[in-house]
Amino acid sequence: MPDIFVADDNQSFPEPQPQVERVLIKHKHRPRNIDDYSAVMRLEKPSTNPLKWFLPKPVRMGFSTQSAGENIILLLRQHPVSQLRWITTALLASLLPVVFSPLEFMGFLPDNYRQALYLGWYLMVVGYTLESFLRWFFNVYIITDERIIDVDFLSLIYKNISAAKIDKIEDTTATTGGFVGSIFNYGTVTIQTAAELREFEFANVSSPNKVTSLINELILEEEREKIEGRVQ
Amino acid sequence: MFWQVIVSPNSSSIVPPEIHGFLLLFIKWCLIVLAIFYLAFSGVMIRQIQIMRQTLITSFSPVLKMLGLVHMAFSLFVLFIFLSIL
C-alpha cells in the first residue's frame, strides 16, 4: 500500500518572479567630441599656427606622454607681453655696440680685437635670444579631454612634466591682475587637485576666464561619463 | 681710463711694450677659451632642442632644430675667427 505523500514543511519553493523583459543597455565607449559639450570650444576654430600662445584644438601637435585616443583641447603658452623683459634685453644688447662704438670705448684695443669682441657679443645675444625663445615655446600648459599637463623646462638641462586627471581637479581660480594684464586679457589660472601635485599654476596665460570655464565643462563631462558608464 | 693707459700701445702708455703684448695675449686666450666653452654650450642647446622636440611635437620643431644648428655653426665660426685674427 502506497504511503500517503506528506509535504516537507522545511521545503521552500522559489518565489514566482514577475515577467520583466531584461533590457541590456550597451554604451559605446566612444568619447564625445569637445564641440558637443563645450560652449567655450564650440566658438573656437582649430589652430594651425604653432607659434601662437592660445591654441584651441591644435592641428598636427602632440606630446610625449599622450595616450591613444587622448585629444589636445587647448594648448597654452605665456602671453608675449609677459615675455617683454627678455625681448627688450635682447634688443638693447644688440644695440649696445652701435651705441658705444662712436664713444671709442674700446679705442685702446687693436682693430682685430674690437671686431672679435663685437662678434663674440653678437654670438652671446643670439644665444640668449634663442634660449629664451625655446623656453617660451616649449614651456606649455596642455588641457586634453583626460588630463591637464604642465611642461616646464626650467633650464637647458632640467625638465619637469606634471599631470593630473580631470576628475582629480577640485577647484579652479582665474586671476587677472595689474594694468597690463587687464588690457591684454592675460592672467594666472590656479588649479587645485587631489593628485600628487596639489596645485597647478598656468601662469600668464591668455583669456584665463575661458580656461577656467573650459576646465569646469570638462569636469562636468567627466562626471557625466561616469554616470552614463562611458568611463574608459 | 686706467685700463686704456695700461693697454694702449701709444707713447702715453705707462706699461712697457712687452707687458702690453702679454696683456693682449692674455685677452686673446681668454676669448678663445670662452669661445670653446660657448661651443660646448651650443652643443648642449642642440641636445636640449632634441629633448624638447620629443616632448612637444609641433610642425615648427624642424625650424628650431635648424636654428640650433645655425647657432652652433656660428659659434664654431667665431672660434675660428678668434683663432685666426687674434
Closest to B48 (Cα-Cα) out of B34, B31, B61: B61
ipTM of this model?
0.81
- Grid coordinates representing A64 are 610625449
CB contact under 8 A, A108 and B67: no
Mode of pairing for the β-strands spanning A54-56 and A186-193: unpaired
- Grid coordinates representing B74 are 656660428
Calculate how close chain A gets to B12, using CA atoms only, in Å: 11
Cβ atoms A6, A205 nearer than 8 A: no
DSSP helix/strand/coil, A154: strand
Give B5's contacts (C-beta < 8 A, 6+ positions apart): B12, B13, B14, B15
Chain B positions contacting chain A at CB under 8 Å are 3-4, 7-9, 24, 27-28, 31, 34-35, 38, 41-42, 44-45, 48-49, 51-52, 54-60, 64, 67-68, 71, 74-75, 78, 81-82, 85-86
DSSP helix/strand/coil, A204: strand
CB contact under 8 A, A119 and B49: no
DSSP A83: G
What tens digit of pLDDT does each residue of A10-42 get? Answer: 666 666 665 555 555 454 556 678 888 899 999
Give A112's contacts (C-beta < 8 A, 6+ positions apart): B85, B86
CB contact under 8 A, B78 and A120: yes
Separation of alpha carbons A50 and A137, rounded Å: 9
CB contact under 8 A, A130 and B71: yes
pTM recorded for the entire structure: 0.81
Residues of B in contact with A126 (CB under 8 A): 71, 74
Q: Residue A118: exposed, middle, or buried by beta-carbon count in 10 A (0-12, 13-18, 19+)?
A: middle
CB contact under 8 A, B59 and A64: no
Query: Poorest-confidence range of A26-30, A80-84, A120-124, A197-201?
Result: A26-30
Separation of alpha carbons A50 and A77, rounded Å: 11
Separation of alpha carbons A210 and B26, rounded Å: 59
Radius of gyration of chain A (CA): 31
- Grid coordinates representing A166 are 580631470
Q: From the list B31, B67, B78, which residue is nearest A130 (CB)?
A: B67
Mean pLDDT of the region B4-14: 49
Mean pLDDT (chain A) is 86
What tens digit of pLDDT does each residue of A140-184 get? Answer: 999 999 999 999 988 767 888 999 999 999 999 999 988 999 999
How many CA atoms within 13 Å lie on the side-chain side of A26?
1
* Closest B-chain CA to A126: B71
Residues of B in contact with A130 (CB under 8 A): 45, 67-68, 71
Backbone angles phi, psi at A100, to 5 degrees: -90, -15
